[in-house]
Amino acid sequence: LGEADARLFAQEGATVIMTDVDVEGGEAIAADIGATFVKQDVRSEEEWKQLIDDVVKDHGGLHVLVNNAGVVEVGTPETQTYEDYKFVMEVSADGTFLGCKYAIPAMKASGGGSIINMASIASVQGEPYVAAYCAAKGAVEALSRSVAVHCAKSKYNIRCNSVHPSGIVTPM
């Protein structure tokens, strides 16, 4: 999904900054579409701060953020390990929180923008074999509402939406 998003934004003429922990894959896609790739672990607050600061410094502002990072670790509510649960939550929920936290001030300074958070249909219908994923994407959905209301009440001219795709055949 992240690759498809990046390709579409590039086709529409956007300046695209892609991030991932997969350097080889990210660099290949970025080169193919004329984007910039930056290695980033979305669980790192320091990396979020640096990324947003660099984007603003290098490109004059920030107008769109797509929080797309996500991982799946198979497990039911009974069999999911706590370690796997924490990992899935850190990537999906914590990563999205940090992206929003640091994008909002940059977008506010840029005159507004749009935050798009990738949730999942699993956040509303539930799936028995990916308990942590369902919980993480539910957190993304709820956080998106909070960010949207905060930005609207603050009159920041920043939208925040969550997208809830169904099952998609991807390498994940």
For 3-59, what is each residue's pLDDT tens digit? 999 999 999 999 999 999 999 999 999 999 999 999 999 999 999 999 999 999 999
Those residues with Cβ within 8 angstroms of residue 41's Cβ, 6 or more apart along the chain or in another chain: 21, 47
What's the whole-model pTM score? 0.95
Those residues with Cβ within 8 angstroms of residue 14's Cβ, 6 or more apart along the chain or in another chain: 64
User: What letter represents residue 91's amino acid?
Assistant: V
Residue 122, pLDDT > 80, answer yes
pLDDT band at 166 (very low <50, low <70, confident <90, very high): confident
Grouping H, G, I as helix, E, B as strand and the rest as coil, residue 59 is helix
Average pLDDT over the chain reads 96
Longest dimension (CA), the chain: 48
Report strand pairing: 158-163 vs 64-67.
Answer: unpaired
Tell me whether residue 102 is one of the annotated catalytic residues.
no
Structural contact between residues 89 and 135, judged by C-beta atoms closer than 8 angstroms: yes
Catalytic residue among 82, 85, 102, 133: 133
Tokens of 24: 């080889």
